[in-house]
């Protein structure tokens, strides 16, 4: 952890599967995704996905040995990333940053609406006096990420990665 007046700080990171991470930045604990209940299908038959509360509880207990969970980050709503987010939000009472569709699920599960901030990209949030988070609009599926919010926003695609989006949009 950081010490006042010291230039370098420890940044403990816990990786608990694929895209699940917990970062401890001083007294601020940030968790990314956290879907530990997701079951991969070994056949073409879909598996009903459900939150496995005892498993989430065990992972939570293990993560508490490394730090706190004060902020939950969710990039997009797919069960392999977001299945357990509503339970994590209820269990930790953390502040959540997620797409609007995920916030609806989190609120329906019982979290107060003011604890889930809907994100779409371009926002900046001051998480504490030392940590500022910028939200970059992207997704692991480039065609999904390249959908402009409206026709007038098509011209906003300006970065190098947006060149890929522009090319995809022009091919439509």
DSSP assignment of the chain: ---TT-S-----EEE-STT-EEEEETTEEEEE----S----SSSSPPPP---HHHHHHHHHHHHTT----EEE-SS--HHHHTTHHHHHHHH--EEEE-HHHHHHHHHHT--GGGEEE--SS-EEE-SSS-EEE-----SSHHHHT--SSGGGGGG--SHHHHHHHHHHHT-
Q: What does the pLDDT read at residue 75?
A: 81
Phi, psi of 155 (to 5 degrees): -70, -10
- For 146-162, what is each residue's pLDDT tens digit? 555 555 444 444 444 44
Q: Do residues 69 and 88 lie in contact, with contact meaning Cβ atoms separated by under 8 Å? A: yes
Q: What are phi and psi of 132, to 5 degrees?
A: -115, 135
Cα distance between residue 93 and residue 112, in whole Å = 9
pLDDT band at 24 (very low <50, low <70, confident <90, very high): very high
Q: Which residue has the higher pLDDT, 17 or 63?
A: 63
- pLDDT for position 66: 86
pLDDT greater than 70 at residue 55: yes
Q: Which of these ranges, 19-28, 98-107, 143-152, has the smallest mean pLDDT?
A: 143-152
Which of 70 and 49 is assigned the larger pLDDT? Answer: 70
Whether the predicted pLDDT of 127 surpasses 80: yes
Phi-psi region of 34 (alpha: psi -120 to 50; beta: other; left: phi over 0): left
CA 8 centroid distance within chain: 27
At 4-13, the pLDDT tens digits run 555 567 788 8
- What pLDDT digit, counting tens, does each position of 71-102 carry? 999 887 777 777 889 999 999 999 999 989 99
**How high is the pLDDT of residue 157?**
41
Residue whose pair of structure tokens reads 């508490």 in the numeric block? 64
Question: What is the pLDDT averaged over residues 132-138?
Answer: 84
Residues in the chain: 172
């Amino acid at each position: 952890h950081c010490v006042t007046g010291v230039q370098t700080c420890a940044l403990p990171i816990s990786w608990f599967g694929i895209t699940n991470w917990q970062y401890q930045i001083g007294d601020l604990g940030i968790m990314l995704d956290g879907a530990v209940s997701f079951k991969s299908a070994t056949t073409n038959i879909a598996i009903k996905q459900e939150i496995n509360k005892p498993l989430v509880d065990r992972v939570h207990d293990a993560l508490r040995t490394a730090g706190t969970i004060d902020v939950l980050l969710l990039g997009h709503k797919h069960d392999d990333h977001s299945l357990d987010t509503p339970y994590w939000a209820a269990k930790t009472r953390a502040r959540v940053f997620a797409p609007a569709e995920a916030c609806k699920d989190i609120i329906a599960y019982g979290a107060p609406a003011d604890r889930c901030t809907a994100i779409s990209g371009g926002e900046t949030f001051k998480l504490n006096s030392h940590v500022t988070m910028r939200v970059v609009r992207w997704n692991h599926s480039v065609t999904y990420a390249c959908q402009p919010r409206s026709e007038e926003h098509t011209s906003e695609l300006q970065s190098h990665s947006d060149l890929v989006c522009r090319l995809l949009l022009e091919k439509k």
